[in-house]
Amino acid sequence: MRRQIWLIGVLAAVGLTAGCSTTWNPFYKCPNVEPKFAKVMTGMEKDEVIKILGKPTSTVGHEMWYIYDDPSEPVRMRFVLDDSGAVAEKYYETKASLQDQMKQQAEGRVAPEAAPGEEPRKYPGGPMKQFQNMNK
């Protein structure tokens, strides 16, 4: 009888633990956000994007970020807004594409992205526009 109770307890603990895990959970389904991203078009207002995708993970200046930190396939969506609050640019970045971009920047093959409203830097590590004339 004690063995049966112990076995039931162990099975219940394993079942509860498996139910909380996303890497080994038969009931977990990775969210498919790519079709929602495709619905967002340049020129759409910020409120329309929020209606499609929900509240952004982060908003910094003229950028809205949506981060889906799924263990099997993390995704980052970034929307650059113009001064009127409409989508000017949109980016869908997977873990693999971000790793490739960072590798190219580290090797000096691609300059880091410029901040919105700034000109791209001439070379990786080049001075930002506001610091170019400091030594004159």
Contact 92, 102 (CB under 8 A): no
Rounded Cα–Cα distance for residues 52 and 8 (Å) = 45
Considering the domain 31-114, what is its CATH architecture? 2-Layer Sandwich (3.30)
Among 2-6, 8-12, 25-29, 56-60, name the most confident range.
56-60
Among 14-23, 28-37, 74-83, name the most confident range.
74-83
Q: Which helix (H) or strand (E) element contains residue 80?
A: strand 75-81
What pTM value is reported for the model?
Answer: 0.56
CA distances from 53 to 8, 35, 38, 60 (A): 43, 10, 11, 17
Contact 77, 66 (CB under 8 A): yes
pLDDT in tens, 52-75: 999 999 888 889 988 887 767 788
pLDDT in tens, 118-132: 665 554 444 555 555
